[in-house]
Amino acid sequence: MEEVEKVDISKTRKPTIVFYVAGIIVLIFVIWGALAPGSLRVAAENGLAWMIENFGWFYMLITAFFVFFVIFLAISPYGKLRLGKPNSRPEYSWFSWIGMLFAAGIGVGFVFWGVAEPILYYQDPPVGITPETAESAIAGIRYGAYHWALHPWAIFSLVGLTLAYVQYRKDQPALISSAFYPILGKKIHGPFGQGIDVLAVIATSTG
């Protein structure tokens, strides 16, 4: 039987190297944006353009893969895996879980951006499309559907399932680095795992 290393959750509530490193980097971005917003905007736009040009294909491919992967998990024997101890039972009913999923999860964004995003792209479409035309309206619907239909649900589901698995079955803290526990084992509690958590905080803070 696999030996699972339990982590003292109370220790994760104290400031760590992740907190200080990520905090300093985020603070640098905040100061940069306050003192030179134009410069930060140009740098961000150039960085985004470079990422789209060089890795846009990979982003589209991996999100499509996630859709098929979570469907596979749902219909395969893995879909019957309990996200808890073998003798545990659900704390909430299926109906309550669906309600929390929308009320406390993606619901607000779905209701707002599901309407606002197509309008946004209709008025300010991607390069090569004339604003406020039939073509930009179609583009807006396509982008809105892509951003708020199956693909984001697949991404959120995969991340949520991974964290739930390691947290409730492997007794690991609710950190992004914990998702790598089945692969890296105890190494996630060292510099490698701390680096993952720093990147997670920066990505969350900067979008």
DSSP 148-184: HSHHHHHHHHHHHHHHHHHHHTS---S-GGGGGHHHH
pLDDT digits (tens, 9 = 90+) for 62-117: 999 999 999 999 999 988 888 888 788 888 888 988 888 777 767 777 788 888 99
Locate the domains of the chain by residue range. 9-206
pTM of the model: 0.75
pLDDT digits (tens, 9 = 90+) for 35-62: 999 999 999 989 888 998 899 899 889 9
The CA distance from 154 to 152, in Å, is: 5
pLDDT digits (tens, 9 = 90+) for 109-130: 778 888 899 999 999 887 788 8
Task: Tell me if 93 sits within 8 A of 101, measured CB to CB.
Answer: no
- pLDDT, position 1: 47
